[in-house]
Each structure stands twice: as C-alpha cells, then as structure tokens.
Structure 1
Amino acid sequence: MLGINFTDHIPAVERGDVKRKIAMLSADNPVVRMEHWIKLPDGELRCLLWSNRAIFDDAGKIAEIQAIGRDITESKQAEQALRDSEERYRLLVESSPDAILVADTNRKILFANSAAVGLFRAERLDQLIDLDLLDLISPSGRDEVDELIVEILKGKIQPFTERRRLRLDGTEFDSESRGAPFSWDGKVTVLIITRDITGRKQAEAQLRRSQKMEAVGQLTGGIAHDFNNLLAIVLGNAELLGERVDEDDLIEPVIRAATRGAELTQKLLALSHQQPLWPKTFGLNDVIDGMTGVLRRTLSEAIEIKSITAEDLWLVKADESQVENLMLNLVINARNAMLDGGILTIETANAGLDAAQALEIDVAPGNYVTLTITDTGNGMSPDVLEHVLEPFFTTREVGEGSGLGLSMAYGFAQQSGGQLVIKSEVGHGTTVRLYLPQAPQDEDRTETGDTGVRALEARGETVLVVEDEQDMRQIAVSLLHDLGYQVLQADHGAAAIATLKSEPRVDLLLTDLVLPGGMSGSELAQAGKGSHPQINILLMSGYADEDVATDYHGADNIEFLRKPFTKDLLARSVREALDGKEIAI
C-alpha cells in the first residue's frame, strides 16, 4: 500500500469526516483518535480504531503523521447487534396489547409499557413508575399477590391467573396476569404481564345466562303442551258451567286459578325465548301515550313521571302487548325502589349502532329504537346486578314477587332481535334500556278492525275442529256451538281429510299443531287448502317451540291460537281468522 493515498480506502461517506479530524492535529493537539471503516483490496469492509500522532519538524510544521489502527469490526458488529436486539425488544414490548410491568424487590415499578399506561388509565408513564405493585390490586387480593411476588423473586414462574385489579382512577376490572423472575440491570426483579378480560368475563356470563335460559326452555317446552291442554279444559268447562248455573262464587276462583296457571306458563316461555310473539308495526311513543293513565295509577303520588319522547321516532315491529307488559313490569320495579318518592323518567330515542357499538351490547349492527326507564331509587349493588336477570331471582320478601319480571323482559328482547341493558349503582338509581330493531321502512303501522259484540258473532260458518285429545276437542266444540257456529270434528289428520272431501262447505279448519297418525296440523292445513283453496286456517297449540306458529301467523289466511284460551279469545281468534283482519281489543 506504499505510495497510495490512504483516504482512497475510506468509504466516501466517511472521508470528509476523517480529513476534518486530521486537520485538527497541531502542536497543542498532537494526537487525534477516531474510528472509521476502510475498504480492503479484496473489497471487504473493516472498522478500525485509530490513534493519529503528528510529528513536527524544526519549524513546527507537521512533517509526518504516525497512525496506529486496531481492528474493532467484531466489537462494532456486536454493538450493532445489541442495538438491533434492543430495538426489537422495544418494539415487541411497546406493541404488545398486554400491559407489561417490571418491579424491584420492594415491589416498586421500574418499567411500564404503553399498554400499561392505557390499561391502568394513567395520564403519563411517570405516574406508574415507583408505584407499589399492590396499589394496582383490588384490596381484597393484595395479601395473596404479595405472597406470590415473594415466590417469583425466589425463581418461581406464576401461570396466568384471574384477579381483580385497580386502576388509578379507583375503578376495578377483571384481569388475567402472570409473573416471572426477570433480570433488570443485573438485578433480580419481577416481570408482570396482565390483560383486561372484562369483555371475556361478560361473554362467559352471557353464555351461562343463555345456558340457564336453555335449560328452563327445555323444561317448560317439555310440559307446556300437556299442561296447557289441561288448563284449557279446566278453563273452558268452567266458563260453560258459569253460563249454565248461578254459582259464581265457586266457578270464578276456578277460572282465576286456571288463568294464573296459563299466565305462569307464558312467563316461563317468555324468559326462555320460546313464547309465540305476534309482531305488529307500531310506534313506541304511541304505546307510552296509551299507557300514561295506567302507569300513573300504578305509581304513588310521591313519584313524578317525566316523559321524554323523540320526534320522528322510527317504527318498530314487535309484539305490542309484550312491550306494554314489559313497560308495566319495569315501572312497578321502579315504584318498589322509590318507596319514599322520586322521579321516574320514560324516554324514547333512535339509535344507529355500528359494529363496535353493537358488539358492546351483543346485538347485530343496525338501527334500533330504545325505550329507557330510569328511576332515582335505591339502586342495586354489583352482586345483585350480576344475578338480576336470572329466573326467580328477587330481593323482595317471599310472596311479594315471582322474580320473573326482568327475566321475561330479557327473554322478550332477545326473542325480538333486540337487547335489554341494565345499569345501576347503589344510591343512584337504576336505568333499564330496551333496544328493539327498527321496522322495515316500507311497512306502515298495523291497522286493526272494529270491535264490539257484533264483530264476534257467528254468521252461519262451519268450523272443522281437529284435536286428538278428546276432552280438549269436546270443550272447543262446545264453545264454538255456544258461539253459534256449525261444528264438525275429527281426531286425526286422515279423518279430517275425509271430512273435508265429504263436506261441501267448511269455512274454517281449527286444528292442533301436533296430531297422531303421521300428519301434523301444519301439513293438514296445507292439504286442506289444496282441496278447499278458500278455507281459513286457525292453528292451535300448547307447545312452546312451534316456530310454525309465528311463521304462519297472519299469512295466507292462517292464524294461530295459543292454548289455553278463554271463550272470548276463541271467539275473537275465530272471527279474525274468518274475516282476515284483527279485531281491536
């Protein structure tokens, strides 16, 4: 390399810096140290650490420069690898969705990542540094965590464990955390990784609630048919007996008991999402206006009612009678929470929910109409709130409530494609919000026909009753005779088909959904319309899980009658099926 300009072996990007440093040599500064890369003849780049010394002549000018270089390439590569590793570590830690904390042997936090700042609701990172780890634990769990930290410092790794944690703003949340020993600046420390599992816990609670509802549904569905048949026989015969003998003091208690039994069955079906619903298109504001008098009489004078109804409120498509029952139950609950008086607020609003908002309350994204009832009563503790939707759960005295009101409301909301959300705090009252899907925009309000005695009268029509249970069939036949109808009867599908073929005129087929002989009531209805296209169909059943009831209701001259039924309900249902329109109640 003799006779070659040394700077030619220095990469161009460093060449100017090297020349500037060489120019710094002087009598006052005879030695300059520097490091730079050089390119060897074979093209390899190496990094050298140089010590440059100036040799001066008698005139004090630089005569030569002596340079001693040491190859530090491996050291520089190791330093770069360490920097790269630290950067990767920093990226991994900072991009982690889990909160990561490092604490010393005194539990003082030395490090926290960005996720930890957000999870614990700190405004700045320094709010977490030097904080005691136990300050981020719910007081009830601090002794246990303190013992775990001691074990970790001894070298034991703690698996993920669920526990309640505390944020800096004082709120608590469910977390899942694990801990392990960790080396920090050569010292043993505690590494904590934690995540918020509130959403998962809520989903698990929702699943448990659904499983409970499913279990209740299986139970009620199994007994509903036979139980409702029995109630229908009792109720129908009691009504007929009451019209023939003057023994009201003996008969009316039987009717009331049978009616209560039927109502209890429907409550069980409602909370298990299996109650047949008759959706109509209507406005919630109209329901509130229509119930104002009833609600006012339900509340004491010490309770003030405030109504905040939205203008241009969207229509909903739901079972209007169930909405009325739900509202009445919620108002009664609010009344019981405000024994010393207070304010009851009833509010309606339109709510367009995007994917994130819908996920938060576990519904499909879309447009909903909300009915919100808020009281200023005692409120509920978190423990009570956790169980308030469970069937038969109540905080009232024995005999003062069944514990089914909110369960029924929840079941109805779910079955209607909506949701029921409850928020409450001790001393700050309770808010219950019902979400119902917006009705299709091409649907108008459901109109009802005229009411009155003449609207229920028979007009010479013939009804074919198909029911395999003899007592049930007989009571239906007797009630229809009493209403003035011509009545034919059959105990199974084949017999009904034979009757339809032999009779020139049958105006209405009243058939149970479940029949023996391999032909269901819905199949019989289809066969009947094949031979008598203009025949009207009224399906009846005491089963809870007959989807066909809702599917056929109001479609193609097919209506549905739920067992048990009163004489008045039978008269109204038969007339509606024959006339093809609803009769206002």
Structure 2
Amino acid sequence: MTDLSVAEPRSLPHPLRFLEGGGEATRLILDRDWSNHPLGEPGGWSEALKATLSTVLNSPESMILAWGREELTFFFNETYFPLLGPRLEWAMGAPFRHVWADAWDQAEPIIRDAFAGRSRRFTDLPWKLNTDRGEADTWFTFSYSRILDGQGEIAGLFIFTNETTARVRADAALARSQAELRALNETLEQHVQERTAERDRVWQLTNDLMATARLDGYLLHVNPAWTRVLGWSEEELLTRPFIEIVDAADHAATADVVARLAAGELVTNFVDHVLTSDGGKRTIMWTAVPEEGSDLFYIIGRDLTEQHAVEDALRQAQKMQAVGQLTGGLAHDFNNLLTGMMGNLELLQVRLTKGRLDDLDRFVLAAQGAGRRAAALTQRLLAFSRRQTLDPRPADVNRLIAGMEDLLRRTIGPANALEVVGAGGLWTANIDAGQLENAVLNLCINARDAMPDGGRITIETANKWLDERAARERDLPPGQYLSICVTDTGTGMDQRTIERAFEPFFTTKPIGQGTGLGLSMIYGFARQSGGQVRIYSEVGEGTTMCIYLPRYAGTAETAEDVDAAVVLDRVGGGTVLIVDDEATIRHLVDEILDEVGYTVIGAADGAAGLKVLQSGARIDLLITDVGLPNGMNGRQVADAGRSLRPGLKILFITGYAENAAVGNGHLEPGMELLTKPFSLDALVGKVNEMMRSA
C-alpha cells in the first residue's frame, strides 16, 4: 500500500495539495469519479471544505466529515477504516444516509440536534447494525459538532468516533465476574446457613423415613415421616427395638442386614414390610450406611406401597388392552358356542312339539357341552386378567396332584411317560384347588405338545425357603414357599419366547390348536394367590415350569371337608333371599330351590333386597350377585345384611367378581362363592351345605 502521508511536499498538483498526508484515504478520494457528484471535482471545492477535510485526513483520531446541509457527503480518515468493513470500497464521498443506512434512524435525530447547535458526546452508545461489517450488537463512543462557514451558515459536521464493542463486552464480562466473586464472598456464610436450613427442611418435610440407629436394634433419631407414614409417635419408636414393628416374616432378613452393617457393608435396596400403628403394613425399601469406627448406622427408607399398587394397575391395564384388541376373535368363539347351544335347544323344542321323544339326550348333552366350553373360555380370560375370585382353602397339594394322576395320564397319551415326585412333609397351601388343578393340567398339556415324538413329563413338589436374593430373583417377598414344577424333555424355548410366554393369546402352536391363554391363566392364578410362576428352559433341552405358592400355617382340609356330598333329592327347609338383576337367574334359583323344599324370596336389585332384609321376614340364607345395578353391589348388600342380621349366611354368585367386591378376592367366614355358569346340582349342593352348617 502506498503511504501518501509521507510523500514529498508538492507531490500533488497545486489544487489537490490539501489532500496530502491522508494516506490511503487520499487514494480513495483520488480514485473516485467526481464528475457527476454534487460537489464537483476536488480541485474546485470551497476553501472551507478543503481546510476542514485536510484536518480530518491528517488527524490520528478516528474522524468523519459530513459535508453539506441536506445531503451529507461522507468523508473519513485512515484511522476510521476498520469501522466500515466491506463498505470501505465505496463509502468515500457517498451520502451519509447510504453508508450508515442501518443506523440512520438512530443517527438522524443526533445530526439535527448538532445542526441546531446542541452538540453532544456519547459514550458506549449501543447501535444495532447489519452484520455485513461484523456483529449486529455494537457500541460506539463519539461526538457530533457542526461546522459554520465564513457567513455563519451550516457547512457540515465534525464527528469524532470510535467503536468500543470489544471493550464494552470485556468490561461487562469483568463486571459480571467481579459481581459473582463479590456475591460468592459476601454470601458464603449465608449459603452455609441455607444448606443447613435445607437439610433441616428435608429432614422435616420428606416422606422418606430417615433415622440414626445403633447395631443393638434401637433407633436414636427419627424424622417426622416415620409418624406420618407409619403412625407411631417418636417416643414409641425410640423406646423399643425396631424389630418389633417389622413384619415377622421379615425378621430373619432384617437380622442379616444388621450383621452386614456390623461388618462395615453398605446395604441398598433391602425391602421389608413395616407394621403401622393401625395394624396395617407398608412396603419399605431401605438404604443403610454404617459409620466407621462406631456402632451407629444411618438409614433411609422409601415407601413403595403405592408405587407397587400403581405398577400392578399399569400391568393390569396393559393386559386389558391386549384383551380388548382381540375382542373380535373372542366374540367369534363365543358366537360359535352360542350357536351350538341355541341350535340344539331349538331342535329339542321342535322334537318336543312333534312329540318325538326319542334320542332327546343327544341335544341336551350337546348344548351342555357348548355351555361348558364357553364357561371354560370365560374362566381362562378371568384368570389372566387377575379378576377371577378365588375360593381359597387349605389344601394338600400332593394329594390333589395324586387325585389327578389318572386324568393326566389319559391327557398326555401313551407316547409320554408321567412321573410324579411328591416331597415328603410338603407344606400346606391356601389355594383354590380347582384353579391349581387347571394350572397343572395346562402345564402337562403344554409339555405334551412340546414333545411331538414322545418323552417324559415329571411333576415334582418341594418346600422352598427363599432368602432375600432368591426371592428377589423370583419377584417375591422372602419367606417359605412350596413349589410345583412340571418338567418335560421337549423342544425347549428360546429367550424371546420365554419373555412373551405369559402375554395373552401368545402361542407357538399352529392356528386352531392353542388359545394362548393357558400360561396367562396360570400366571394370573399364581399372582392372585400370592405366588409366582417361573420358566427355566433351553432350546433342545426341555422346559421346567415352576409355580411358587406361599406356605399356609395350618393343616389341609380333608377330602370330606372339601367334597361334601350333594344330594339333589334332599328336602330342604328354610327361607332363601335371592338378589339378582337377571330375571331368568332369579326364576331358575326359585324353581330349583322350591323343588327341593326351600322358600324363596326374589329381589331385582340391592335396594329391593335391603327392604326385605329390613322387614320381619325370616331369612336363613342370602344369595346375591356381585355385580348389581342402581348403586349397590352384592358386597354392600351382604354387609348391610350382616349389620341387620348378624351371622347371616351369604352365597355370592358371580360371573366375574371384582376383587374389591368380595374383599380383595378372599371371603369372610360364613360366606361362600359360586361362579357362573353353575349347574343346578352344584347350586343345591352349596345351599344344602350352607344350611346344614352351624
């Protein structure tokens, strides 16, 4: 670049010598075509313009000369170059409002003030500019002052200007850092106090159980959550061993945790059941940390009771969604069965109308068979959905399986060998015997189908004590269980099949040979009974299916207890109140019980039944459907009946029986359950049995 500022004097023609010393700015003036410019060629400019522009060009400060009154011609010196960016090539001599078009709205009022004699200085004034020259957000320090000619008229403006964006940003960053440092220094003590207050608030307000305890089993400090969640006062908690409020089934596992803490081990995710002051239980997951060199440890417990309930509800909803997606297929199956029942009954009616009484049993048996198949499909659906009401009784599982052995052998066929290995001294289980029989039968059918060329099926029972680790692997609380395992020598299952085995309607059998509900039904029965099902299998190595059921602390009922004789021709005595919104069922119960000698009173809903119970009529037995209309379900009718007539015997009849309606799936003493559809002899037998009981 040629530096004209150091050119020899008189290096320019005489009329242009006022441009000397301007360096590259002079070059820009000389290179511009001024022939059509309002100012004309530089040599003909006024002396005032030449003198003023010479001052600007030779100044070391960043300066602008805006010459004119209405249309300001833009001049600048070499120091000003960096502010223009790509505009530098054309800005010299251009109109001011074109050079800084993006700032003109902000600059124009300042220029008017300067022309009016109100010269001003601005420091770090923010400007919003186009980004062709750099950042849009910029800051400038400048001053505007007017230039008067010899007659006192306004000739232009002097503008001293510097962009201060970098310094403003640096100053702002420095100011922020200093402010942050001051704040940190000034509030350090306040932060400590706040953290302490926050810790205290957490201790006071959290719903997690927090405590300091000793290895001797006593609590030293507890937060208020203990009282909120469990109901015990602080005094009650601190004045007795903690083990006294732990469920007895968890005592051994809790003692093991204390031993691990004494050995200096950190314990996490330990789950037990803690008793509440009102007699309930809460499921708590604990983390415990020992303090090194002392007998103290710190514990935090989280109440999982509601979380488990929500998880169960979510799983239930997912299962119900799957059932809903296949409603069409189920409707098809039921329609086929209904066609069989209705068709055979119509044929029976035609035969009777024509007086043809021979071979009528064939149509009756066909209709009954279709009805039983429909009932079986319904039971499978209910068991899968875990809304099938159980009728649990203490049972000897070995004796139950032994009683099925002939049926199982006929079911699996002669190509398969069956071995039953019953554990000696097998514990009692409190279960619905019919559902367990159905589960074992389904497992044997699956095992048979997995061995198309024949093989061996082994049914084995055993007592199991599940510690914390083993119980966690099976998704069960620690404790005593009995297992019923069915093992085959068949094709086995891969991991993907095992993961989907309990899904509704999932089957690996050919179309028409499996509903996909068998294992789902078994899973539903086991979970509702407080147990679990697990699959152990490898492809080509066979499969073992194990049902785990909680041990029942009692003795099993004898066969005579369970299978009371049903005598259909026995003459009954007493009055029965039947509450059912289905008229055909009321009339059916009325007819059959009247036939064997009972007096029957009918009611179409809970309110009508309650009126009968409130009357002076003799009622020896209440039979009620669980699902009743008009706001009062069967359980509510039963509770009202018991309050009016203590000791009233109650028989629930139900086609689905929501758990809550009959006490979470379990019946109180003096209550029995009969599941629809039921046979007439089953109804009479159950009524006779209940009437005979004290």
The secondary structure found in structure 1 opposite 2:423 is coil
- Give the corresponding residue for 2:470: 357
Q: CA deviation at 1:521?
A: 2.4
Superposed CA deviations along residues 447-494 of structure 1, whole A, max 9, x for unmatched, are 616644537734222211122232332233223233432211122333
Residue equivalent to 2:479: 366
**Structure 2 matches for 1:49-64, cutoff 5 A?**
none
Amino acid at match of 1:310: A
Cα distance in 1 for partners of 2:663, 2:345 equals: 29
Q: Does 1:328 align with 2:441?
A: yes
Q: Does 1:345 find its partner at 2:438?
A: no
Aligned-pair distance for 1:502?
A: 4.5
* Deviation for aligned residue 1:375: 0.8
Q: Identify the residue that residue 319 of structure 2 maps to in structure 1.
A: 213
Once the two structures are superposed, residues 225-250 of structure 1 have per-residue CA deviations (whole angstroms, 9 ceiling, x without a partner) of: xx9xx99xx89x979x99x9653333
Q: Does 1:491 align with 2:604?
A: yes
CA contact (8 A) 2:382 2:656 kept: no
Measure the CA separation in 2 of the matches of 1:267 and 1:393: 14
Residue identity opposite 1:557 in structure 2? G
Determine helix, strand or coil for the equivalent of 1:438. Answer: strand
Q: Identify if the C-alpha distance between structure 1 residues 217 and 579 changes in structure 2 by more than 3 Å, giving closer, same or farther.
A: farther
- 1:275 is aligned to 2:388: yes
Equivalence for 1:285: 398
User: Matched residues in 2 for 1:521 and 1:500: separation?
Assistant: 14
The verdict on how the C-alpha distance between 1:347 and 1:321 changes in structure 2, with shifts beyond 3 A counting, is: same
The verdict on how the C-alpha distance between 1:212 and 1:394 changes in structure 2, with shifts beyond 3 A counting, is: same
Where does residue 523 of structure 1 map in the other structure? 636
Partner of 2:282: none
Identity of aligned residues (%): 43
Matches within 5 A, 1:75-90: none
Distance 1:300 1:262 in 2: 25
Q: CA separation in 1, counterparts of 2:671 and 2:314? A: 37
1:577 has 2:690 as partner: yes
**In 2, Cα distance between equivalents of 1:250 and 1:374:** 41
Q: Provide the C-alpha distance between the structure 1 equivalents of 2:502 and 2:563, rounded to a whole number of angstroms.
A: 39
Unaligned runs of 5+ in 2: 1-310
Supply the distance in 2 between the matched residues of 1:365 and 1:390 (Cα, whole angstroms): 26
Change in 2 beyond 3 A, CA 1:426/1:456: farther
1:420 to 522, 526, 533: 533
Report SS of the residue matched to 1:377.
coil
Paired AA for residue 365 in structure 1: P
Q: Distance in 2 between matches of 1:254 and 1:512?
A: 24
Q: Which residue of 1 aligns with 2:500?
A: 387
More contact order relative to length (CA 8 Å, sep ≥ 6)? 1
The 1:553/1:423 distance shift into structure 2, 3 A limit, reads closer
Q: Which residue identity lines up with residue 532 of structure 2 in the other structure?
A: Q
Change (3 A) 1:304 1:251: closer
- Distance in 1 separating the partners of 2:662 and 2:520: 23
- Provide the rounded CA distance (Å) in 2 between the counterparts of 1:217 and 1:503: 47
Give the structure 2 partner of residue 407 of structure 1: 520
Q: Which of 576, 582, 585 lines up with 1:469 in the alignment?
A: 582
- Structure 1 regions of 5+ residues with no counterpart? 1-204
Aligned to 1:564: 677
- Residues 552, 558 of structure 1: 8 Å contact kept: no
Q: Are positions 1:432 and 2:545 aligned together?
A: yes
Give 2:431's match in structure 1, choosing from 306, 315, 318.
318
Kept in 2: contact 1:509–1:536 (CA 8 A): yes
Residues 571 and 386 of structure 1: is their aligned pair in 2 closer, same or farther, counting only changes over 3 Å? same
Quote how far apart the aligned CAs of 1:289 are: 1.6
Aligned to 2:51: none
Q: Aligned partners of 2:316 and 2:630: how far apart in 1?
A: 35
Q: 1:378, 1:518 → 2: CA distance?
A: 53
Counterpart-to-counterpart distance in 1, 2:474 and 2:563: 40
Alignment correspondent of 1:377: 490
3-state SS in 2 of match to 1:565 = coil
CA separation of 1:551 and 1:481: change in aligned 2, threshold 3 A: farther
| Aligned-partner residue type, residue 268 of structure 1 | L
Alignment partners' CA distance in 2, 1:535 and 1:455: 24
The counterpart of 1:445, out of the listed 557, 560, 584, is 557
Cross-structure match for 1:262:
375
Say which SS state the counterpart of residue 374 (structure 1) adopts: strand
| Structure 2 partner of 1:543 | 656
Looking at structure 1, the residues matched to 648 and 614 of structure 2 have their Cα atoms a distance apart, in angstroms, of 13
> Structure 1 length as normaliser, TM-score?
0.56
CA contact (8 A) 1:362 1:419 kept: yes
Deviation per CA, 1:503-544: give whole Å up to 9, x if none: 542221112223344433223223333443353211222234
Q: CA deviation at 1:563?
A: 2.1
| Structure 1 residues 283-337: Cα deviation after superposition (integer angstroms, max 9, x where no partner) | 2211222122112222233322223222121111111111111111111111112
Further displaced range: 444-453 or 402-411: 444-453
Q: Aligned-pair distance for 1:550?
A: 5.3
Contact 2:575 2:598 in 1 (8 A): yes
User: What residue number does 2:60 align with?
Assistant: none
Q: Secondary structure at the match of 1:276?
A: coil
Contact 1:413/1:420 (<8 A) preserved: yes
Q: Distance in 1 between matches of 2:326 and 2:455?
A: 38
Cα 1:568/1:404, change in 2 over 3 Å: same
1:91-148 Cα deviation digits (max 9, x unpaired): xxxxxxxxxxxxxxxxxxxxxxxxxxxxxxxxxxxxxxxxxxxxxxxxxxxxxxxxxx
CA distance in 2, matches of 1:279, 1:471: 29
What SS does the corresponding residue of 1:275 show, helix, strand or coil?
coil
Alpha carbons 1:456, 1:572 under 8 Å: kept: no
Tell me how far 1:572 sits from its aligned partner: 2.2
Question: Are 1:539 and 1:558, in contact at CA under 8 Å, matched by a contact in 2?
Answer: yes
Confirm or deny: 8 A CA contact 1:468 1:491 kept in the other structure.
Answer: yes
TM-score w.r.t. length of structure 2: 0.48
CA positional deviation for 1:573: 2.3
Quote the residue 1:201 is aligned against: none
Q: Which has the larger radius of gyration?
A: 2
* Change beyond 3 A, Cα 1:458–1:464: farther
Q: For residues 453 and 207 of structure 1, what CA distance do their matches in structure 2 show? A: 40
1:258/1:515 Cα in 2 relative to 1: closer, same or farther (>3 Å)? same
Q: Is 2:412 the partner of 1:299?
A: yes
Between the aligned partners of 2:443 and 2:685, the Cα distance in structure 1 is 29
Contact 2:411 2:445 in 1 (8 A): yes
Distance 2:657 2:648 in 1: 26
> Does the CA-based 8 Å contact 2:579-2:602 persist in structure 1?
yes
* 8 Å contact kept, 1:381–1:425: yes
Shift of 1:554: 5.3
- C-alpha distance in 1 between matches for 2:665 and 2:390: 12
More moved, 498-507 vs 258-267: 498-507
User: 2:246 is matched with which residue?
Assistant: none
The alignment partner of 1:340 has SS state of: coil
Query: What is the SS of the residue equivalent to 1:454?
Result: coil
Written as runs of structure 1 = structure 2, the 5 A alignment for 1:158-307 is: 212-216=318-322, 246=357, 247-307=360-420
Kept in 2, the 8 Å contact 1:549–1:560? The answer is no
Secondary structure of 2:505's counterpart equals coil
Matched residue SS, 1:263: helix
Which stretch of the first structure deviates more once superposed, 337-346 or 444-453?
Answer: 444-453
Instruction: Give the RMSD, CA atoms, in angstroms.
Output: 3.6
Q: Secondary structure at the match of 1:281?
A: strand
User: Match of 1:555, SS?
Assistant: coil
Match in the other structure for 2:591: 478
